[in-house]
Structure formats: C-alpha cells, structure tokens
Amino acid sequence: MAGRLNFEILPAGSAATARCGLLTTPHGVVETPAFMPVGTLGAVKGVTPQELSAAGASILLANLYHLALRPGIDTIERLGGLHRFVGWTGPLLTDSGGFQVWSLGHLRTVDDDGVTFRSHLDGSSWRFTPETVVEWQERLGVDVAMALDECPPWPVSREQAAAASERTLGWARRARTAWRGETGGGLFGIVQGGVFHDLRERAARDLAALDFDGYAIGGVSVGEPPAERRAVVERTAAALPPERPRYLMGVGYPADILHAATHGIDLFDCVLPARNARHGVLFTREGALKIRNARFRDDPRPVDERCGCPCCSRLSRAFLHHLVRAGELTGPVLATLHNLRYYLDFMTELRQAIALGALADLAARLACAPLPHDPQEQRSP
Amino acid sequence: MAGRLNFEILPAGSAATARCGLLTTPHGVVETPAFMPVGTLGAVKGVTPQELSAAGASILLANLYHLALRPGIDTIERLGGLHRFVGWTGPLLTDSGGFQVWSLGHLRTVDDDGVTFRSHLDGSSWRFTPETVVEWQERLGVDVAMALDECPPWPVSREQAAAASERTLGWARRARTAWRGETGGGLFGIVQGGVFHDLRERAARDLAALDFDGYAIGGVSVGEPPAERRAVVERTAAALPPERPRYLMGVGYPADILHAATHGIDLFDCVLPARNARHGVLFTREGALKIRNARFRDDPRPVDERCGCPCCSRLSRAFLHHLVRAGELTGPVLATLHNLRYYLDFMTELRQAIALGALADLAARLACAPLPHDPQEQRSP
C-alpha cells in the first residue's frame, strides 16, 4: 500500500539537503516545498475555495478532530466525501486530531489503546483510536491521511516525551496495519520526542521501518524556543527516509519555512498568515505592516507593490486601514487573501531558489524585511 | 448642468409605466432598473470589489455620512477620489447623509441652514448643509450625488411631514445652485412628504422645476406599512418627470422592487440581501432558506440550483449550514455573495420581463416563492 503516493525528487540545485519535488496524489500534483493553507472546518476563514485556488494554493489542510465532531464523518461521507463537501477539487490532507485532542479535548484520558475525551463543543464523549482515525480519513477520501499521535505539551520532561513518542510509535504501527489505501491516498507517520534528539532520531528510524507514504515532524510550535525547534527539525529531517515526503506540522514564519526547507522539509501548514491577517498584520516583501497604525491612514500604496492579490491589485493601504479600523468584514477578508498570496508566492520563490541554488540570497532578502516573530501558538487547535 | 447624465429610455414593452433604460455616467453605463449593492464604508461587507463585479453589479452605493466622518473627505480626495479609494471602477452613487444624520447623529439640531449633530463614532461635532454635502460629493468624484434631505421618523404627523418636505425642498434648491457638475456626474433631488400623497406630489413637482439629473423617493422603509409605502411609490413616481431616472431609496424585497419598477422606478438600493445573508437567510428562486435549520444538515443541493455564484457553483446547503453553525467567517462571505447574485440576477430577469411585457409572469413566480418580509429596517443607518 505504501508508495501509492508517488514522490519524485527533482534534480537538485547546489543546496545539500534542500530539494524540490512533485507529490502526485489522486486529486493532483503538488509542487514541493508546498504550503498548505489551514481550512480547519473545511474552509480558510473568510476565503472561498475559488479564491484559494486563485491565490495559488495547490493543497488544502483540514482538521479531522473538528470535522469528526461537527458535522461528523457520516454526514461528510453521505455528502460524497470531503472534497465534494468543502468544494476543493485539489489534494486534501487531514490532520489526525492528535494535536487537537491534546489541546482542546476536556477530561482527556489516554490508554495504550487510544484516547477518550469530551468534545469542546458540547461535552459529548469521544473515543479516538489509531484504527478509527485511519478509517475516518479513508471514509473522507483524503489524499493524505495522518496517523494518530500523542502531542505532549511544552515544557516536556524527557520521561513524558519518551512515553509520548513510544505510544505514538505503537499507534503508528496499528494505523499502518489499519490503512487500506483503497482510495489511492497515502498515510503519513508522525515523529514525536519533544526536544530530545535521540528520541526523535529513534522515532524517525522506527517509523521509517513501517514504510509510510510520508513522515511528519509533530510536537513542534507548541511553545518551544525557536532555536530548539530548528535543531529538532535539522536532526529529525536528516533521520527520515530521503525518498519520501517530509512534513513539518504547524510551522511557521517564512524564515522558519526557509530554514526547514533548507534541511529537506517538503510540506508545511500554518495558521499564521490567516490569523495575522485577522489581527491586521500584513506580510510584505518589505516586512510586516500593522495596518491599523495611523501612518497608513493616507498611504496610497498597495500593501505590497509586487503582489497580485485582490487587495494589492486594486486597493491602497489607506483603504485597508479604513476597513480594519471600522471593523468592516471586508477588512479581514482582503487581509487574509493578501497574506495567503504572500505565503504562496513565497513558496514559489523558495522552489525557484532551491532549483537555482540561491537559498542564501532568499534568506538574505527575508532577513532584510523581518516579519513579527511569535513562536507561540503557530498551530491552530 | 442638468442633463450631464444621459438617461435613455428603451422602447417599451407592453407595461404601461415600467421602463428599461440606460443611464450613462462618467464611469460607465447602468442598465435600469438597476440594484445598487450597499457599500456603506466603501465595501459591501465581506465582499471584494472584484467579487462584486463578478456578481453582476453595475453601480455601487456608498454613504457620505459614514465616509465624511471616517476616513474623511480630505483623506479620500487626497487618495484620488472615491472610485480609486474603494477600488470600484464603475459608477458610484453616494447617499447625502440625510437619513443617517437623522438615525445615527446624536444631539441633532436642525435649522433652516442645515443640521448640526454629534458623530456616533466619537461624539465630535459636525455640520452638514446643502452646500457642504454637494461640495463633498463633488470632491469625492461620484457619478451620482444626492441632495441633503430631512428624513422624518415614523410615525410622522402631517405637520412634521410637511415641515420636513418644505425644508428638503429649500435645501434642494440650494444644493442645485451649489452643484457645479464639473466631474460630469449628476445630482438627484429627494422627495419627502411622509405618507401624505398631496405633500409628495407637490414636492415632486417643485423638485422637477429645479431640473435635477434624477429624482429619488426618500423617507420610505422607515417602518411604515408596506401598503402605505406602495401607495406612496405609485403616486410619487407618477408625479416625477418621466424623462429622468427615478430612485427609490432603501427598498426592498424583490416583490417590492418589482412593484416599484412596474410604476416606473429605475434605481434601487437595499441592505436586505447582505444583512439577511449575515443572519443565515438565503434568497432562492424557490423561496428563502434559513440555512441554520437542521433540515439542511444533509442537503447535498446547492442553495439555488439556477444560481452561478461562488457558493452555488461548488458548494452544498449542507456545507453552508456547517460553516454558519460553526460561526466560520466563510459562512457570511459565501451567503452574501449568493444573496447579492440572487438580487442582481433578479434585476436581469426584471429588465427582461419589462422588455417582453411579461411582468405579470415574473410577479406570479415571485408570489410562488415568498421571501421573508420584514418591512422594518430595510435601510442601513
């Protein structure tokens, strides 16, 4: 069953570990490194699927935890599967819910067989096991499914991290066995292990032996210092099978993405562009703009001169400032369209830089236009 | 100066008073009867200007009151005028602010020269006169400017209505004198007079003598019974010059629009499609859907089978139900895009029905699929 998702690594540029690739899924090909906009409940907040395509997204992420609780797997299956339900014709990846169970579920009790918790919505009782989570994702018809993991909180002791990693590995084995792969999609295993490199490396090797379609680095962007996260990424990526896609979950700012891609990460997701947009923080090639700031009141320039999004192609910073200040709904909509386009354009530049062996130039450009850096809460619960 | 806005009435169908026309403005031609989406602060809530064009809008309404208070006429003028500021390249009409001054302004004092009030935003003191309101709209560069009016509340006594009508007429005379028309746009006068037909008819005749580019029926949709409003529309429309465009302010549901168009009204605006959308009420050719209703949880059909909006062309009622129930931002965005498209499609059908002399058929179709009818608060303050 593994290998259903073809991953072709393109001829390398001069970078040692960075690579461009083509991930072929039942619903289309993803050029990697790729950024997956986060559609928690099936839609990026404020954005239509058509606008998402127009912004350049090739693959969308949705959250199994949220969809399972509401509207429910049965409902989505009856309606023809997740693609049809959310109106996204391209590749879809669903998170396994591990992270959300740990950050949102109440009265959570975990045993070796799975996890029981109460819904954050209505207090109803739920049970997630490695088998149910795989089965649900197969029923949704996703292109990339994720195995259930235990995502320990930050700070985490070595003992906690080791236990979570061990349990995640046992669950991965069961998920791998449960996965039927009949819809042509693939299953990814998730590496845990906190900030302990030996735990991460061992988990990576053990997961690799299970022959997944791809491998994810989980348990990051939970509050750890950026330097520790970067070290985890470097060490773990190096321990993962080079021929399969690698996904860094919930990270991050463009500089974090560039760093990770330099070390061989292929897939990314993050709520930062959309969440910052809703808070009036706009990402540009010149740095970040807090659009509520009075200095934009009379600024006739687009948010980013080099952006082709619906906001920049027609509107000024002054107008966006006006809408955001007034609390008008169109403000966050335009800001989100812009920030997503910024991220997706950045990924294109990143792929070009890898192909041309010019990552250092891109890194230098980013360093000249720093974005706000808040390593906390980059991941959406 | 009047007549700068060319209005050509097309060869009639069989209807006696309904007409199709072409209103030529500096920023393009409007096919009438036309519906103007309401962009209070320069944008329809949740909608980009590109989406507004795609929905079929030909002319956009914005509110002088709101724009004058925030971000201010000076700011918009410095930024190149209202079209450039809001990113709308087609015709723009601004309301004079009369309605908003009466419904939003605090500590309002009116004298024959104008009105003084405090801003609903920050309590700052403002003075609107017929001359300033005309001057501001000319500085914004709008295609259609409205004269300042006094919009009496409902219920209104004959004495109040007569006084407001008299004052509005005096202000119209001054507005007409102040209007320079140098940007090629036109100025409309507003008929007041409450539900008193003789006051309305006299106001219509007196305004007509001032030779405006068009005439509006104001002071409706303020809470009066629908039957009284319809009688006002019929009598007032008949008293207005047939060769100029007629605009019914703040009305209404499609059935109200059809009625008014039957009696020769050419322009409409209303917040109903967008406001209903934000409350989860979707307009369709089969009637209204309250999308939060449990019966839509598993409904695979589009909101309206015959609609080509971004929502209906790709998504189900079940998905919209899911988003709205979950409070996701994409819910009101999709719903607004749909309801606007519904209104704009309806206007196309209305123009066709007039041209074909088939208004009775269209009225019968509407009657078979009734929309929620709340005659209150159709106008946005």
Q: What is the ipTM of this complex?
A: 0.96
A87 CB near a chain B CB, below 8 Å?
Answer: yes
- Counting DSSP H helices and E strands in chain B, the numbers are 14, 16
Q: Is the Cβ pair A70, B322 closer than 8 Å?
A: yes
Q: Which amino acid is at A196?
A: F
Residues of chain B in contact with residue A87, where contact means CB-CB under 8 angstroms, are 314-315, 319
Residue found under tokens 């965005």:
B333
Question: For residue A180, what are its two tokens?
Answer: 């039927």
In a mutational test of the A interface, the residue from B52, B330, B334, B340 whose CB has the highest number of chain A CBs within 10 Å is: B330
Residue numbers of A between 320 and 349 with CB closer than 8 Å to B: 321-323, 325-326, 328-330, 332-334, 337
Q: Is the Cβ pair B329, A46 closer than 8 Å?
A: yes
Cα A222 vs. chain centroid, distance in angstroms?
Answer: 13
Bridge-based pairing of strands A106-111 and A28-32 is unpaired
Residues of chain A in contact with residue B321, where contact means CB-CB under 8 angstroms, are 71
Q: Which of B79, B300, B319 sits opposite A300 (nearest CB)?
A: B79
Residues of chain B in contact with residue A50, where contact means CB-CB under 8 angstroms, are 310, 314
How distant is the Cα of A321 from the closest Cα of chain B, in angstroms? Answer: 9
pLDDT of amino acid B183: 85
Rounded to 5, what percent of chain B is helix, strand, coil?
40, 20, 40
Q: Which of A316, A329, A334 sits opposite B79 (nearest CB)?
A: A316
Q: Which residues of B145-175 are buried (b: 16+ CB within 10 A; e: fewer)?
A: bbbbbbbbebebeeeebbbbbbbbbebbbbb
Residue found under tokens 């918009």:
B76
Q: Is the Cβ pair B41, A326 closer than 8 Å?
A: yes
Q: Which of B41, B84, B333 sits opposite A333 (nearest CB)?
A: B333
How far is residue B205's CA from residue B192's CA, in Å, rounded to a whole number? 12
Q: Is the Cβ pair B328, A47 closer than 8 Å?
A: no
Q: Which whole-number Å values give the CA distances from A336 to A330, B274, B332, in the listed order?
A: 10, 20, 15
Residue stretches of chain B with pLDDT short of 50: 1-3, 375-377
Q: Is the peptide bond before B155 cis (omega within 30 degrees of 0)?
A: yes
Residues of chain A in contact with residue B332, where contact means CB-CB under 8 angstroms, are 329
Q: Which residues of B95-110 are buried (b: 16+ CB within 10 A; e: fewer)?
A: bbbbbbbbbbbeeeeb
Q: Which of A50, A80, A321 sits opposite B300 (nearest CB)?
A: A80
Q: Name the DSSP letter for residue B38.
A: B
Residues of chain A in contact with residue B43, where contact means CB-CB under 8 angstroms, are 323, 328, 330
B295 CB near a chain A CB, below 8 Å?
Answer: no
Which one is catalytic: B95, B143, B149, B206?
A: B95
Q: Which of A79, A300, A319 sits opposite B316 (nearest CB)?
A: A79
A308 CB near a chain B CB, below 8 Å?
Answer: no
How distant is the Cα of B60 from the closest Cα of chain A, in angstroms? Answer: 15
Answer yes or no: are the C-beta atoms of A339 and A324 closer than 8 Å. no
Phi, psi of B147 (to 5 degrees): -70, 150
Question: For residue A237, what are its two tokens?
Answer: 């990526």
Q: How confident is the prediction along chain A (381 residues), in pLDDT tens digits per residue?
A: 444 799 999 987 655 799 999 999 999 999 999 999 999 999 999 999 999 999 999 999 999 999 999 999 999 999 999 999 999 999 999 999 989 988 887 889 999 999 999 999 999 999 999 999 999 999 999 999 999 999 998 999 999 999 999 999 999 999 999 999 988 999 999 999 999 999 999 999 999 999 999 999 999 999 999 999 999 999 999 999 999 999 999 999 999 999 999 999 999 999 999 999 999 999 999 999 999 999 999 999 999 999 999 999 999 999 999 999 999 999 999 999 999 999 999 999 999 999 999 999 999 999 998 787 554 445 656
In a mutational test of the B interface, the residue from A330, A334, A339, A340 whose CB has the highest number of chain B CBs within 10 Å is: A330
Residues of chain B in contact with residue A339, where contact means CB-CB under 8 angstroms, are none
Which one is catalytic: B143, B269, B304, B345?
A: B269
Q: Is the peptide bond before A218 cis (omega within 30 degrees of 0)?
A: no
Answer yes or no: are the C-beta atoms of B11 and B4 closer than 8 Å. no
Residues of chain B in contact with residue A44, where contact means CB-CB under 8 angstroms, are 330
A54 CB near a chain B CB, below 8 Å?
Answer: no
How distant is the Cα of B320 from the closest Cα of chain A, in angstroms? Answer: 9
In a mutational test of the B interface, the residue from A44, A48, A83, A316 whose CB has the highest number of chain B CBs within 10 Å is: A48
Residue numbers of B between 92 and 151 with CB closer than 8 Å to A: none
pLDDT of amino acid B378: 53
B70 CB near a chain A CB, below 8 Å?
Answer: yes
How many contacts (CB atoms, under 8 Å) link A and B?
123
